[in-house]
Amino acid sequence: MRLDSITDAIGDTPLVRVDPAVHGLRHIDLYAKLEMLNPFGSVKDRAAWNMVRPGLKAAAEGRHTVVELSSGNTAKALSLLAGMHGVSFKTVTNRIRIPEMRDLLLLLGAEVEELPGQTECLDPSSTDDPLTLFHQELSGSDSPYVYTDQYYNARNTEAHLTGTGPEIVADLGGRAPDHFIACVGTAGSSTGVARVLRAHDPAVHVLGLVAHKADFIPGIRTIDEVQGVGLFDPATYDTIATVTADDAIEGMVTLARRCGMPAGPTGGAAYSGAVRHLRALDAELTERRTAVFIVCDRIEGYLSYVRRRRPDLLGRPVHRNSVATLTDAEVAAATGIDVAAAERWIAEDRPLVVDLRSPFSYAALHIAGSVNIVDELCAELIEGGLPFSKSRPVLLACPVGEQSARYAALLTRMGHPDVRSLSGGIIAWRDAGAPLVRE
């Protein structure tokens, strides 16, 4: 293969059948669309190139900087594309939670501006979020930047309407698969592919996967976060299901160790979510079916992600005091307390109120007298032992009450006699009109 430009290597990725002996489905042929084999390493190469291409000439002539709000693969692809066209690239993002990615972006020549926001992705419903404020500024007509705007730009979806979707149909001999499974970040890839497949066969079933609310899976959003994405339309998906970080890592391990596919967490999550969904249908089938899932990127950039969640996979001891070791029964048994009862409890017993949200969210609004220990820092403290005195009750609060329930379960297991989780989190507290203070 001889090419004039590396951009000619974007797309035309292979569709590879997963060995049935691995997934165990008897009537369904399951294929992986290996987007990790794009030249910059992910499905976002297609969207990045399609979005930035029209603005590159003007950017080079006007010495404008290409800018995007991304903490991952889109920023990586745009860094490389901008660099090869002599244009600078800047990414503005909330806290990057994958340290390898920050270093890689700097190595590729990107300027990285990290804001102390709440989520990694843009949340337009949150007017206090600095990332949202930045998005509004960039969207203004006199912005000095070439803004690729992945959460709203129709050219993101278009890259998959013209590339990924038609390639899948062509590789299946001109037919759409019966099932299509994809993780949802900006929703560009799932929306574009789903449209193409439905045009061939309106009966195709589309399964969109989002991260479980209490989990972080780099590259995709939770069901709450995804609502704010401009390209997201619930009608695209026949089913939306959640996947956990455990699903993602188990799937990664299976794809890497059994299938020769070194996929990242969202590829693993798509595999696990696909097999779980298809297994429920497989027993009833009498005819053969096909299913396709997307492997978005590669495994190598996620070693610290795996080390934190599954140290055993890297030959390190499992932290006994870790939320990853909790059973569903332990989490369900954690003591929750509703807003009205929590207000009374605070007034009467003065528990230590620990707010697990980001420093920015905490500074914006918090329960008076609470202390801010970000969830990840809390996890590290707990690994070393019980960080709070047993003589004082503890009330844990997070955005929606899911993470705090897990930490409450863990601290209870570690012997704390009275730790409770604020049910519904700070959002329920705010919605109930309970008092919040600003720093």
Ligand X SMILES: Cc1ncc(COP(=O)(O)O)c(C=O)c1O
Binding interface with ligand X (CB under 6 A): 42-44, 72-74, 183-190, 219-220, 264, 266, 296-297
- Minimum distance, C-beta of residue 6 to ligand X, in the bound complex (Å): 19
Q: Give residues with Cβ within 8 angstroms of 264, minimum separation 6.
A: 36, 42, 218, 219, 252, 295, 296, 297, 298, 299, 301, 302
- Minimum distance, C-beta of residue 233 to ligand X, in the bound complex (Å): 12
Residue 71 or 412 with smaller CB distance to ligand X: 71
- Minimum distance, C-beta of residue 269 to ligand X, in the bound complex (Å): 8
Q: Where are the alpha helices (DSSP H) in 29-160?
A: 44-52, 56-62, 73-84, 99-107, 130-139, 154-159
Residue 241 or 285 with smaller CB distance to ligand X: 241
Cβ(30)–Cβ(23) below 8 Å = yes
Q: Give residues with Cβ within 8 angstroms of 408, minimum separation 6.
A: 334, 335, 336, 396, 419, 420, 421
Is 200 in a helix, a strand, or coil? Answer: helix
- Minimum distance, C-beta of residue 30 to ligand X, in the bound complex (Å): 18
Residue 91 or 421 with smaller CB distance to ligand X: 91
Cβ(297)–Cβ(73) below 8 Å = yes
Phi then psi for residue 239, to 5 deg, are: -140, 140
Distance CA 64, CA 264 (A): 33
Residue 151 or 407 with smaller CB distance to ligand X: 151
Question: Which residue's entry shows tokens 């497949």?
Answer: 197
Residue 251 or 264 with smaller CB distance to ligand X: 264
Phi then psi for residue 96, to 5 deg, are: -80, 120
- Minimum distance, C-beta of residue 44 to ligand X, in the bound complex (Å): 5
Phi then psi for residue 427, to 5 deg, are: -65, -45
Residue 149 or 297 with smaller CB distance to ligand X: 297
- Minimum distance, C-beta of residue 185 to ligand X, in the bound complex (Å): 3
- Minimum distance, C-beta of residue 74 to ligand X, in the bound complex (Å): 6
Residue 38 or 190 with smaller CB distance to ligand X: 190
Residue 64 or 102 with smaller CB distance to ligand X: 102
The 352-355 sheet, strands edge to edge = 336-337, 419-422, 394-397, 352-355, 371-372
Cβ(70)–Cβ(150) below 8 Å = yes
Residue 78 or 334 with smaller CB distance to ligand X: 78
Residue 191 or 403 with smaller CB distance to ligand X: 191
- Minimum distance, C-beta of residue 155 to ligand X, in the bound complex (Å): 12
Cβ(120)–Cβ(143) below 8 Å = no
Q: Which amino acid is at 69?
A: L
Q: Give residues with Cβ within 8 angstroms of 228, minimum separation 6.
A: 122, 123, 124, 125, 126
- Minimum distance, C-beta of residue 316 to ligand X, in the bound complex (Å): 24
- Token pair of 171, please? 């590789």
- Minimum distance, C-beta of residue 42 to ligand X, in the bound complex (Å): 6
Q: Which amino acid is at 131?
A: L
- Minimum distance, C-beta of residue 218 to ligand X, in the bound complex (Å): 6
Cβ(398)–Cβ(420) below 8 Å = no
Residue nearest to ligand X (CB): 219
Cβ(15)–Cβ(32) below 8 Å = yes
Q: Which amino acid is at 82?
A: A
* Beta carbons within 10 angstroms of residue 137's beta carbon: 13
Residue 138 or 217 with smaller CB distance to ligand X: 217
